[in-house]
Amino acid sequence: MLFTVNRTNTVAVLPTARRGRPVTTEFPADRSRPRPPGPGGTHAEVLRVISDPRSPTYVTVYADGRRRYSYWRPLDSTTGTGGCYAALPTAACDELHAAGRITLGEPVVDPNRTTYRVRPAARAQSAPRAQ
C-alpha cells in the first residue's frame, strides 16, 4: 500500500462516461432459461417453497389489514445468490390458505403487526382400499 502513496508521478486512469447506446435492462430471448410459471404453476411453486424445510415461511398481517407472505431464501453456494428474505405472491397464498392447503401457526403479536408461521397443511389420510 505504501508504494502507491509514494508514487507521485503515476497517472491514475479514471473511468469515463460511456458513450453510445443506452444501457437497457432487457435480456435477449434465451430458450434455455426457465419460463415464469403459468396461471396454474404459481400455486404449485408457492406450495413448493412453503413445503421446503430450508425456507421458513411467514405471513405478516399489519394493523391496516395488509398481508405480506415472505420466506427465507437459502444461500446457493454455486451462484452466490440467496441468503435473504423474499416475498411470495399474496393472492396465490391467500387462495391456498382459503383452500386449506396451507395453515398458520401461533401468532407473534407486535404493536403494529402480527406474524404467523406458514406451513403446508397435513394431508388427510385416506381410507385403505378394500381388495
pLDDT in tens, 2-44: 455 555 555 555 555 555 555 554 544 544 444 454 445 788 9
The Cα–Cα gap between 41 and 35 comes to 11
Reported confidence tier of residue 123, pLDDT bands at 50, 70, 90: confident
The Cα–Cα gap between 33 and 104 comes to 34
Please report the pLDDT score of residue 130 as a whole number: 57
Please report the pLDDT score of residue 62 as a whole number: 96
Q: Which residue has the cell 425456507?
A: 55
Residue 83 and residue 74 in contact, taking contact as beta carbons nearer than 8 Å: yes
Please report the pLDDT score of residue 32 as a whole number: 46
Q: What is the pTM of this model?
A: 0.61
Give the residue, 86 or 82, on which the prediction is more confident.
86
The Cα–Cα gap between 128 and 120 comes to 23
Residue 2 dihedral angles phi and psi, to the nearest 5°: -65, -30
Domain locations along the chain: 41-120
